[in-house]
Structure 1
Amino acid sequence: MATIAQLSTETLPHDVVSAVKALLPELRAAQSESDRLARPPTHIVERLREAGAYRLTIPKEYGGLQADMKTWMDTITEIGRGDAGVAWAVTLVASCNWAFSSFFPKHLVDEVFSEPNAALAGIFTGRVVNIRPVKGGIFIDKGTWFFNSGVYEATWDLLGVPMFDEAGEPAGPGIALVPMSDVKLLNDWNTSGIRGSGSTNVGVENLFIPNDRIVPLAPIAEGTQPRAYAGSLPRVAFMPLMASILTYPILGASLHMIETFMETLPRRDIKLTPYTKAAEAPVTHLQIGEATAKIEAARLLIEDGVREMDRWSQGADYMPMPLRARICRDTAFAERLMWEGVDLLASASGGSFSWLSNISNRLWQDVKVGTMHPLVSAPSNYELYGRMLAGIEPPLMLI
């Protein structure tokens, strides 16, 4: 009988999915190197680039795949089965490529994607920024942005900055396009999980950014920002997309956890019980049943949101707010279910799980760290959806 992990990773019709799936042995073999470097190894980046992973969401007219959300999900999930940290970097680059080609002026999109291997990373909120309005744009005296995932593979960065009106008064948050040559990588990504994402903090000093390289964030979230490119993908709702894409690496790691658990189960004993083999113990069967149910339920929730995003991307209307909030709620719940499933399998893995060399330990750390992103915070997303059902309108920036 096939396991859920096997059923979820059958050959898929899209070439990019098949191409990254073929890289699974290389991704797993390079895990220790990605952990040591705290970023994707160069040879892995090249192999993923050859497979088309970094062109997922670039419009076709620039040589990209302009993939739909289901292809995006399947591609990153397969990479996540090999290395969730590397998958995290790729999905964040894909999201920034999508956001840039969707919302920035076309002349900038033409400029950036004239480079064959152009890619964008980004972090839309600054942590410590000293920015002031000047004639024709803004000037960054000094700024720091935390957790800039995928930045080592990027040629440009999208950084969250304040915007100002003509009188120099604050006018809401914006996103600025900055060449990587003007961004300092602080090389401080030192975490217990998702290490291969290379999510280092970055800094910028003494830099002028013209106004035409800055777009407002609020209209993007609201669905009112003019679109630079007329393809179908750019019409996906911003916040549900940004939340959903964070689940794909974690789903891949969760499927890998099931696979590893089932492969090692025949060799595992179970101490201080009448059973000599863990595979014979009813408690193990119960744990497997519950853990796989949680992970499979999470996958179905994620896929349902992906289907909705793909469906709405084909029409002229922007996805309604209640549906956007529901997808974000389901995304957060799916993250919680995956963590609970992986944690349950970890608890059933015996004392050897504690070894840092145990791949299950690594997967457990990856899933836990991956579920800590604020966009997939369960309490915040539950509250947001609950407020809407109770008739209390939420701040538009959140959805």
Structure 2
Amino acid sequence: MSVLNLSTATLASSDRTDVDLVARAKALVPDLREARSEIDRLARPPEELAERMKQEGIYSMTVPHEYGGLQSSLDTWRQVVTEIGRGDAGVAWGLTLVTACNWMAANLYPKHVSEEIFARPNTNVAGVFSGRAVKARRADGGIVVEKGMWFFNSGVYQADWDLLGVPMFDKNGEPIGPGVAAVPMSDVKNLHDWNPSGLRGSGSTNVAMEDVFIPDERIVSLMGCNRGEVKPTYPEVPIFNAAFGPLMVLILAFPVLGVAKHIMENFLETVGKRDIKLTTYTNQGEAPVTHLQTGEISAMFDAAESIIVRAVEKVDLWSAGKAFMPVAERARVNRDVAFADRMVFEAATKLSEAGGGSFAHSKNIANRLWQDARVATMHPFVNPSSNFETYGRLLCGVEELLMQV
């Protein structure tokens, strides 16, 4: 077989794997919807569903082949999480964060550290890159976290390791900036306090640590990752050569696209079963106002998806090259994600206004989906004002803010 034919065959095999993975995610949608009450009760995925997702390879799509992962494309990542989000946005949120941390743990730490993390099959990694009241000190060969808490550790119930934000110190014990430490879950305490109005299935409990030593080799600089100073282990593989900052922002939009699709599907399934109070319309689906609403809202959802697809293509384009994604391009991806997320929430709100008074009931699925969209678009990484300001400053020639770009 020629080199050209070999490359083509390998690519085709990879494509089939990605297509299969999206199909397996889609097949999970009915079961996720059926488990809605149990997900809400547990405030995390039921163990049997989480295990099924693991066995289907869904958590390992961002793990290198070397560690038994599928090493899927960024667009497959988008499609898989979006499909899971059609089933349950909270479960999809936990998934997208775990897969992001799997990506980081396998690619931005020293190789022998990554090998230790992924020594066991189907290892998962969760993470929170900023801490609350973390008290740490320099120790010989590393740091000691005397006490600390980390909020909203999404997907941690499926994790074997945690990536937690810690201070870094020079040899004299002076702070030198934020780091992200890889810590085995045996050193981390889940506080079981996740009780939100939306994204309940993410299992985003707060976690804590006390008197834990972390060696230097398990800590990477957060700003170094943002600026491309921490070199990837697999730069020849586009997904692992992606710029850290925009990737971590972009993957947060994938569950939002999923809940947008679920919102629209739910509305269209029920629109013919409702009337419009104080009018002569006994079938809401026959009213011109409903046609106008669904036309505009579907356009907003489609536009948001198109923006995210374009952002995926932009990150892919730079990942395939040798140059690190410029700051303006990174800031543009962040801006686009924030804008798309806001559009989804605004469209969801418009659609909620067409739901009538019954929308207010806590058992109304439309209300639950709206709450998912609200919580998913509140993450600081996708804050519109911050991201618009950052990109606007760059356009105006003003130094960028110290953010996740």
TM bracket (short chain): over 0.9
User: Match for residue 34 of structure 2?
Assistant: 29
Equivalent position amino acid for 2:144 in 1: F
What is the CA distance between 1:354 and its match in structure 2?
A: 1.7
Equivalent position amino acid for 1:257 in 2: I
User: Match for residue 239 of structure 2?
Assistant: 233
Q: 1:304 aligns with which of 307, 310, 320?
A: 310
What is the CA distance between 1:277 and its match in structure 2?
A: 2.0
User: Match for residue 256 of structure 1?
Assistant: 262
Q: Deviations over 1:197-248 (max 9, x none)?
A: 0000000001111111111111110012122234322210111111111111
1:320 aligns to 2:320 (yes or no) = no
- Distance between the aligned counterparts of 2:299 and 2:315, measured in 1? 24
Residue pairs, 1:202-351, within 5 angstroms: 202-230=207-235, 231-351=237-357
1:384 aligns to 2:382 (yes or no) = no
Q: Deviations over 1:125-148 (max 9, x none)?
A: 001111111111111110000000
Q: Secondary structure at the match of 1:398?
A: coil
Runs of 5+ in structure 2 lacking a partner?
1-15
- Distance between the aligned counterparts of 1:259 and 1:351, measured in 2? 20
- Distance between the aligned counterparts of 2:35 and 2:277, measured in 1? 34
Contact 2:381 2:404 in 1 (8 A): no
What is the CA distance between 1:74 and its match in structure 2?
A: 0.1
What is the CA distance between 1:12 and its match in structure 2?
A: 11
Equivalent position amino acid for 1:337 in 2: M
Q: Secondary structure at the match of 1:140?
A: strand
User: Match for residue 124 of structure 1?
Assistant: 129
Q: 1:102 aligns with which of 107, 110, 135?
A: 107
Q: 1:364 aligns with which of 359, 365, 370?
A: 370
Q: Secondary structure at the match of 1:343?
A: helix
What is the CA distance between 1:275 and its match in structure 2?
A: 2.3
Greater shift in the superposed pair: 226-235 or 365-374:
226-235
User: Match for residue 194 of structure 1?
Assistant: 199
- Distance between the aligned counterparts of 2:18 and 2:213, measured in 1? 46
Contact 1:93 1:120 in 2 (8 A): yes
Contact 1:106 1:229 in 2 (8 A): no
1:375 aligns to 2:359 (yes or no) = no
What is the CA distance between 1:276 and its match in structure 2?
A: 2.5
Q: Secondary structure at the match of 1:253?
A: helix
Larger relative CO (CA 8 A, sep 6+): 1 or 2?
1
Contact 1:186 1:203 in 2 (8 A): yes
Contact 1:87 1:249 in 2 (8 A): yes
Q: Please tell me the root mean square deviation across aligned C-alpha atoms, in Å.
A: 1.3
- Distance between the aligned counterparts of 1:292 and 1:12, measured in 2? 31
TM-score by length of 2: 0.94
Contact 2:234 2:241 in 1 (8 A): no
Contact 2:18 2:76 in 1 (8 A): no
Equivalent position amino acid for 1:359 in 2: I
Identity %: 54
User: Match for residue 5 of structure 1?
Assistant: none
- Distance between the aligned counterparts of 2:72 and 2:399, measured in 1? 33
- Distance between the aligned counterparts of 1:127 and 1:41, measured in 2? 28
User: Match for residue 146 of structure 2?
Assistant: 141
Q: Deviations over 1:313-368 (max 9, x none)?
A: 11111111111111100100000000011111111011221222211111000000
TM-score by length of 1: 0.95
- Distance between the aligned counterparts of 1:47 and 1:90, measured in 2? 13
Contact 2:90 2:198 in 1 (8 A): yes
What is the CA distance between 1:396 and its match in structure 2?
A: 4.8
- Distance between the aligned counterparts of 1:320 and 1:80, measured in 2? 31
What is the CA distance between 1:397 and its match in structure 2?
A: 4.1
- Distance between the aligned counterparts of 1:160 and 1:146, measured in 2? 11
Equivalent position amino acid for 1:329 in 2: R
What is the CA distance between 1:90 and its match in structure 2?
A: 0.6
- Distance between the aligned counterparts of 2:176 and 2:22, measured in 1? 42
User: Match for residue 151 of structure 1?
Assistant: 156
Q: Deviations over 1:77-124 (max 9, x none)?
A: 000000000000110000001111111000011111110121100000
Q: Secondary structure at the match of 2:62?
A: coil
1:171 aligns to 2:167 (yes or no) = no
Equivalent position amino acid for 1:285 in 2: H
Residue pairs, 1:74-93, within 5 angstroms: 74-93=79-98
User: Match for residue 57 of structure 2?
Assistant: 52
Q: 1:167 to 1:111 in 2, by over 3 A?
A: same
Q: 1:114 aligns with which of 108, 119, 126?
A: 119
- Distance between the aligned counterparts of 1:146 and 1:112, measured in 2? 23
Equivalent position amino acid for 2:272 in 1: P
Q: 1:259 to 1:12 in 2, by over 3 A?
A: farther
1:42 aligns to 2:38 (yes or no) = no
Q: 1:12 to 1:208 in 2, by over 3 A?
A: closer
Equivalent position amino acid for 2:354 in 1: A
- Distance between the aligned counterparts of 2:280 and 2:39, measured in 1? 42
Q: Secondary structure at the match of 1:56?
A: helix
- Distance between the aligned counterparts of 1:72 and 1:350, measured in 2? 36
Contact 1:218 1:397 in 2 (8 A): no
